[in-house]
């Protein structure tokens, strides 16, 4: 019991220290604003902070991605990412490169492979796979541009590129590149330029860097401190 209190006190101390650092606070603020912007149901920051497993998986990934950069900490990074998968239902390989204001709604069943690259302002729904099609240890997972939305259940397979401002429809299976400003729907996905953009928020293109109040700060992962 005493050990438990010690761990709890250390965790609270680390959180307080972390939150006293402006970079960590700004990152946390940006993340919580992203939740609000992406999910109309999110109205309370405290509730968002504790109840979005997609956000928890992203925070953990930022810390684990740092560990992945060092050969001696690759194994712990991989093991911890599996623990995060158990806790959040989201499997992000620690090698995956992910930009800012990334959001995973509903979280469960998302898989993001080792050589995936994800730009800024990307949103995924549950059951999305960014998967590989090759057993070679080369670039074998997708590259997702900025302001991309990937609908629930979509599978994007192989080293394909999804261009900026594009959307992948729910349950689509994408095996070829998707041009910028397009939507890809169906199995196999057919790509077509946007017909109409009545709901830019839903299409994932709402938050340009130029409009972001956070464009200039260095991203520091809250998970490092909490």
Query: What does the alpha-carbon distance between residue 174 and residue 180 come to, in Å, rounded to a whole number?
Result: 14
Closest CA to 123 of 16, 201, 223: 201
Of 27 and 165, which CB lies nearer to ligand COA in the complex structure? 165
Q: Which stretch binds ligand COA (CB under 6 A): 46-54, 60-68, 78-86, 190-198?
A: 190-198
Query: What's the CA gap between 129 and 205, in Å, rounded?
Result: 21
Footprint of ligand COA on 66-105 (CB under 6 A): none
- Nearest distance, CB of residue 151 and ligand COA, angstroms: 3
| 190-193 vs 182-185, strand pairing mode | antiparallel
Q: Shortest distance, CB of residue 82 to ligand COA, whole angstroms? A: 26
> Do the beta carbons of residue 19 and residue 25 sit within 8 Å?
yes
Binding mask 149-168 for ligand COA (x = CB under 6 A): x-xx--------------x-
Could you say whether residue 179 binds ligand COA (CB under 6 A)? no
Residues touching ligand COA, count (CB under 6 A): 16
Residue 170 near ligand COA by CB under 6 A: yes
Distances (CA, A) of 30 to 45, 63, 80, 142: 11, 17, 25, 25
Per CB under 6 A, the list member of 33, 183, 221, 226 interacting with ligand COA is 183
Residue 130 burial (C-beta neighbours within 10 Å; 0-12, 13-18, 19+): buried
Q: Smallest gap, in angstroms, from Cβ of residue 50 to ligand COA?
A: 21
Looking at the DSSP bridge assignments, the partners of residue 112 are 92, 130
195 binds ligand COA (CB under 6 A): yes
Structure tokens at 67: 């560990």
Q: Least CB distance from residue 26 to ligand COA, whole Å?
A: 29
Asked whether position 196 contacts ligand COA by CB under 6 A, the answer is yes
> Which one, of 106, 205, 215, lies nearest residue 148 by Cα?
205
Residues contributing to the site for ligand COA (CB under 6 A):
106, 125, 149, 151-152, 167, 169-171, 183, 185-186, 194-196, 203
């Amino acid at each position: 019991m005493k050990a438990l209190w010690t761990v709890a006190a250390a965790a609270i101390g680390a959180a307080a220290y972390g939150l006293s650092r402006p970079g960590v606070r700004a990152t946390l603020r940006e993340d919580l604003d992203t939740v609000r912007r992406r999910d109309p149901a999110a109205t309370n920051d405290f509730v968002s902070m504790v109840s979005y497993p997609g956000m928890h998986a992203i925070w953990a990934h930022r810390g684990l991605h740092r560990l992945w950069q060092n050969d001696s900490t690759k194994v712990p990074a991989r093991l911890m990412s599996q623990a995060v998968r158990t806790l959040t239902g989201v499997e992000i390989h620690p090698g995956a490169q992910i930009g800012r204001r990334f959001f995973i709604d509903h979280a469960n069943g998302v898989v993001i492979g080792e050589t995936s690259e994800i730009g800024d302002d990307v949103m995924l729904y549950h059951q999305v796979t960014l998967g590989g099609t090759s057993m070679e240890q080369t670039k074998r997972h997708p590259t997702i541009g900025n302001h991309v939305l990937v609908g629930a259940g979509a599978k994007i397979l192989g080293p394909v590129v999804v261009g900026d401002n594009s959307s992948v429809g729910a349950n689509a299976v994408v095996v070829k590149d998707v041009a910028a400003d397009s939507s890809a729907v169906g199995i196999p996905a057919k790509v077509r330029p946007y017909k109409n953009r009545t709901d830019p928020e839903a299409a994932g293109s709402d938050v340009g860097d130029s409009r972001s109040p956070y464009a200039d700060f260095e991203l520091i992962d809250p998970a490092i401190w909490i």
